[in-house]
Amino acid sequence: MVRFRILAIGLALAFAAAVPSLLAQQDSAVPDPYNARPVPERIVPTPFPLAAQPLETGRSIQLRPAGEMSEQDRLLEADAESSIAERAGYNDIAFNEGKWSYEQLVCPALPNHLFLRFMRNNGAGDVSVFSASIPRNGEGHIRIIPIERRSYSLFSPAPINALTIAAFNRIRMEDKSGAAPGWLGTGLCYAALAGANPVAARMSTMDGPKKYPQASSPILQISSAGDAVILFTDMSAKPRPMAWSLIFNSKGRLLKATHGPAGIMPEQAVAPANIEQTAKPVPQFQ
């Protein structure tokens, strides 16, 4: 009996010692889900870089007088004048009548185009203005964007006009700069082509009493679908700053543009229904 009892105890001890080893082998045979290969995070395509960018384009569009333009750009303008006159005529703008002046709109976001703003001022109530884009690389078409004809908008105000939006989309498609476009520079360039002399607000302009509560420094919003909204306030507009909102789809096509006096434009005009309200703003830069 003693021998059997000793044998039973020995078997029990041997089994107890073998259990951890068996469990370890069993655990090693089942892959640990925490050690599984991670699935790459889905990258949502967006028309503008998500990272904050250096202030390579500034917060305004430089207006360069014709006399300060480069010789190459002046020659490009001279070669394009007949085409500009023809396209202006389509919009009933008498480019061949009266004295016109022009200045360059320097838009680093679209480097492969020369942008000009033409003006004829015959006094109060008789001012005509339009913008012109000329491709530098020979790829694309000369386009004009009517702003005013004898102090009146031709169709609807240029900043929200469907024809302005369509022309801007074609210009961006033809530019082919190869570099990722700066979102603020893109927004300011659109505003300049539509007739503004945009100067985006800085955080410092918001110090003290907030006379214009919706005036803010530039913001880029990206939805989970990749759509983008560019928001900025033009502090140079008179008699009060103007709040701009530009809505792009994930492929970079401008869908809608709105602008109104800062502090008055309703908030619902900033984002369309298909832009998710959970979008996270990109960090701002100074």
Q: Where are the domains of the chain?
A: 62-281
Helix ranges restricted to H, the chain: 2-29, 71-90, 162-175, 183-193
Q: Name the percent of the chain in helix, strand, coil, to the closest 5.
A: 30, 25, 45
The residue with tokens 């939006």 is: 165
| Predicted local distance difference test score (pLDDT) of residue 97 | 84
Residue 181 tokens read as 């476009």
Q: Tell me, what's the pLDDT at 6? A: 40
Q: What's the residue count for the chain?
A: 286
The 10s digit of each residue's pLDDT in 51-94 is 655 444 578 899 999 999 999 999 999 999 999 999 998 888 88
**Percent of all residues in the chain with a pLDDT value above 70, rounded to a whole number:** 68
Here the tokens at position 171 are 């210009």
Q: Phi/psi zone of residue 212: left (φ > 0), alpha (ψ -120 to 50 degrees), beta?
A: beta
pLDDT tens sequence across 14-65? 444 544 554 445 545 555 555 566 666 666 678 887 665 544 457 889 999 9
CA quadruple 49, 55, 57, 58: dihedral positive or negative? Answer: positive
pLDDT at 179 over 80: no
* All residues at 6 or more sequence positions from 94 whose CB lies less than 8 Å from its CB, including other chains: 88, 128
Mean pLDDT is lowest, of 21-30, 101-110, 125-134, 140-149, for 21-30
| 167 neighbors 145 (Cβ within 8 angstroms) | yes
d(CA 74, CA 68): 9
Sequence letter at residue 162: A
Q: Helix, strand or coil for residue 48?
A: coil
| Residues ≥6 apart with Cβ < 8 Å to 284 | 52, 203, 217, 218, 219
The residue that leads in pLDDT, 21 or 100, is 100
Cβ-contact 34, 159 below 8 angstroms? no
Q: What is the DSSP letter of 35?
A: G
State both tokens at 212. Answer: 């214009």
